[in-house]
Amino acid sequence: MKTPKRNLKQLLICCLVAASNLLFSQGLIQQTVNVLRQNASHDTLVGCGSYELMKHADKIQSGFLKAANQYLENITNENANRKKTSNGIMQIPVVFHIVYNDTSANLADSVIQDQLRVLNESFRRQNTDTVNTRADFKPIVADSEIEFVLATTDPAGNPTNGITRTYSPTKYFGGVLPYDQTQAQQIQNWLNDSLYYNYFRITQDSLGGRSAWNSLNYVNIWIGDLRIFEPKFNNFEELVYFGLATPPANHPNWPTTIYNELAGFQEGILLHYPVVGSNNPNTFPAPYVPYNSLVKTGKMLVHEMGHYLGLRHIWGDGNCTMDDFVDDTPRASAASQYNCNTTLNTCVDTIMGMDLPNMIENYMDYSSGNCQNSFTQGQINVMRNVIETRRPYLIGIKSFKNSPESLFSYYPNPTSGKVTLKFNDTDTDATIHILSIDGRLIKTQYITASSKAELTLGSQSGLYIIQVQSESEVFAFKVLKK
């Protein structure tokens, strides 16, 4: 078993970054960060941007860094004490918001559909490259039984194909850097104060983006141009992040003031448009051409979805003393630098009685998409745990090994305002959430060692969602109040 590291860089905004040890020109952002970083000789990756955002959050709410690390420890303990996750396939509705300034970023439906295929094959371990998983890891990798479907209705109940398209006057959602290479401190201040705000504009109608659909009920995925324009550096177009993902919902230490500071950023995932899908016709221009063979596999979204569902980078964003809070993932001294080096074993650990090599196959590494093919069972347990406890309202559709009828019945439906839940087991413990049809939590009710629960809906007529969560199952159904 791996011992969790307490003093970790908590991933609040998780990402893949476009600065590696490949030999090409760097923009002013990466140059500045490389100069300011300490102990960077072993790893020229800028990092996830998360630690800088955490420091920014700590300025707004003192003690945030300490509280965030404690939150990670709590998540670890929850997962260690969790005997199993619920049975069955979770199906999660997603919506892709394409925000474009020119036609190249206005991706065709076929690219989005291909991206969804890659996402589902990866999460269900149905991708053909699973045959490349090394024998050492085969006992610990698994099918997550998590699937993603394009939304079929929008928040107003209208039919949709799960794709929105918005023209934006904003060309660069990374922003325009007003400084030159002699102004390192000003660039650092700009990083702290402006960079994340710039990215988050893509999530707001009023800022040239597209506002989120209710993030309780949909995974919002924004696609746009995430580059930074540097007019005082030969009009350089710098790529810093391939993607960003917010932490799990209801993060107890994520200050509300951060959302205000960052223009009300909604939960979801941001992607730079060339990394979407494996059939995307867009390619990276100079000096980022080397990435065309490494990250254009559609697996960038797999990585970011892992972050959205609570996973950390497999190397713990540090050296061998850092951890990702998953017991069956081997430690690594650094990210894999987008290569597929199977000879590396940079840390000593014990998993299944063995010192496993670096797991370049893992979606949560910075390895090339050409060798990423697996989540471990421990990572899967974390993601399903997060869905059930922190993003439960995303479960729009679900198929079960046990049917709801085998566990309980409910009546009447339609109703004048009250619903009775009758459990087949006379000694049931469960948590029951009553939600409006748009995902707002109206009330929570707990039952202990009971065979029946009497539920009272809200004051308004219309559809309600009832979610029943037992120790090993989560069920959701709709009732109509007349």
**For 195-205, how does the pLDDT look when each residue is reduced to its tens digit (9 = 90+)?**
888 988 999 99
pLDDT, position 463: 78
pLDDT at 301 (0 to 100): 95
pLDDT at 36: 56
Indicate if the pLDDT at residue 49 is higher than 70: no
Give the model's pLDDT for residue 144: 95
CA distances from 179 to 58, 101, 262, 379 (A): 26, 24, 22, 42
Does position 227 have pLDDT exceeding 70, yes or no? yes
Higher pLDDT, 89 or 33: 89
Select, from the ranges 63-77, 100-114, 402-416, 432-446, the one with the highest average predicted confidence (pLDDT).
Answer: 100-114
Residue 209, pLDDT score: 95
Rounded to an integer, the average pLDDT of 189-216 is 88
pLDDT exceeds cutoff 90 at 118: yes
Q: Which domains does the chain have, with CATH numbers?
A: 14-392 (3.40.390.10), 403-481 (2.60.40.3080)
Query: With contact defined as beta carbons under 8 Å apart, do 422 and 351 qualify?
Result: no
User: HEC states along the chain?
Assistant: CCCCCCCCCCCCCEEEECCCCCCCCCCHHHHHHHHHCCCCCCCCCCCCCHHHHHHHHHHHCCCHHHHHHHHHHHHHHHHHHCCCCCCCEEEEEEEEEEEECCHHHCCCHHHHHHHHHHHHHHHCCCCHHHHHCCHHHCCCECCCCEEEEECCECCCCCECCCEEEEECCCCCCCEECCCCCCCHHHHHHHHHHHHHHHHHHHHCHHHCCCCCCCCCCCEEEEEECCCEEECCCCCEEECCEEEEECCCCCCCCCCHHHHHHCCCCCCCEEEEHHHCCCCCCCCCCCCCHHHHHCCCCCCHHHHHHHHHCCCCCCCCCCCCCCCCCCCCCCCCCCCCCCCCCCCCCCCCCCECCECCCCCCCECCCCCCCCCCCECEHHHHHHHHHHHHHCCHHHCCEEECCCCHHHCEEEECCCECCEEEEEECCCCEEEEEEEEECCCCEEEEEEEEEECEEEEECCCCCEEEEEEEECCCCEEEEEEEEC
Query: What is the token pair recorded at 469?
Result: 């969560």
What pLDDT band is residue 53 in, cutting at 50, 70 and 90?
A: low
Does the pLDDT value for residue 65 go beyond 60? no
Q: Calculate the average pLDDT of the chain.
A: 80
Confidence (pTM): 0.78
Look at residue 68 and tell me whether its pLDDT is greater than 50: yes
Point out the least confidently predicted range of 28-42, 231-245, 349-363. Answer: 28-42
Give the residue-averaged pLDDT of 347-365.
91
**What HEC string does 177-223 produce?**
CCCCCCCHHHHHHHHHHHHHHHHHHHHCHHHCCCCCCCCCCCEEEEE
- If one compares 87 and 335, the residue with the highest pLDDT of the two is 335
Residue 446 structure tokens: 């707990």
Percent of the chain exceeding pLDDT 70 equals: 76
Mean per-residue pLDDT for 284-313? 88
Q: Regarding predicted confidence, which is higher, 58 or 107?
A: 107
Q: What is the pLDDT of residue 127?
A: 93
pLDDT given for residue 44 in this prediction: 39
pLDDT for 112 equals 97
Regarding predicted confidence, which is higher, 419 or 43?
Answer: 419
Is the pLDDT at 8 greater than 50, yes or no?
no
Per-residue pLDDT at 288 exceeds 80: yes
| Other C-beta atoms lying within 10 Å of the C-beta of residue 333 | 18
Residue, of 462 and 248, whose pLDDT is higher: 462
- Residue 472 pLDDT greater than 80, yes or no: no
| pLDDT tens-digit map of 427-459 | 888 888 887 765 567 888 888 888 899 999 988
Q: Which long-range contacts (CB under 8 A, 24 or more apart) does 277-281 make?
A: 277/107, 277/111, 277/112, 277/114, 277/115, 277/118, 278/114, 278/115, 278/118, 279/110, 279/111, 279/114, 280/107, 280/111, 281/111
